[in-house]
Amino acid sequence: MKKRLGQHFLTDPSILRRVVQFAHLDPEDTVVEIGPGAGSLTLALAAVVHRLIAIEIDRDLIAKLRARVPSNVEIIEGDALEVAFPQAPFHVVANLPYNIATPLLKRFIDHRDQIIDVTVMIQKEVADRLVAKPRTRDYGPLSVLIQYYATVAYGFTVPPGAFKPRPKVNSAVIRTQWKPDIPEDKRFTGFVHEAFSSRRKKLSNNLQLMFGTLSRSQIVQRLEHAGINANARPEELSVTEFLRVYNQFRS
């Protein structure tokens, strides 16, 4: 096991079955798996889909993986943050390495025209953020950005004992399905992160820092035009409300 790669191999057969069932796969599907590791989930997926592409960065695991997988599995050596994804539509099903789960989720968003849906096991703390609602402790910029592009379903919690070696935290399985006709806007991503820069402050104060050329009264006026109270804090706004605020301030 290589700690720097965040390797925790899923070994519990009952959890493997639940992951595959929760992904809602069909026999003709193509699936991309990130970080197959020892191949337990790989074999479970290969048994139910037409084609499986498994991306593994650890060269020491590649030979053993290729020796044990069936003919419908292709093993690609490389970094999942950089490897070219298939052009044809595919599902993502994986036990994501914890240390790159968030950037991988953002990459999936960038490739949502190719990716049908995403079913992944991630650290429970991250899963809680993805499904969090406004006015809750876990709600933050990641919640807004994922929920802007996708509907997120929380599947189930996975205890440390399902892995070797055991992680120090619980994991969770989530499934995302893209919302139709959502335009790409990188500036919205930056806007949301800056709006959450000081959670304890009012949104109007953070906006004042972001748009220093605007007066306090102009900030408040634009918030009012968006239907937002001037005393609101970032974590109180829904995705739709953030979009309304963003549209008032973008130029």
Domain of residue 42, CATH code: 3.40.50.150
Domain-terminating residue out of 153, 178, 203:
178
Task: Please provide the size of the chain in residues.
Answer: 251
Residues 129 and 7 in one domain: yes
Domain-terminating residue out of 178, 203, 225:
178
Spans of the chain, pLDDT less than 70: 1-8, 251
Report CA 136 to chain centroid distance, whole Å: 19
Q: For residue 180, give the amino acid letter.
A: P
**Do the Cβ atoms of 47 and 77 come closer than 8 Å?**
no
At 120-142, the pLDDT tens digits run 999 999 999 999 999 999 999 99
At 149-188, the pLDDT tens digits run 999 999 999 999 888 777 788 999 999 999 998 988 889 9
Domain-terminating residue out of 131, 149, 178:
178
Residues 153 and 203 in one domain: no
Report CA 240 to chain centroid distance, whole Å: 19
Residue 61 CB-density burial (10 A; 0-12 exposed, 13-18 middle, 19+ buried):
buried
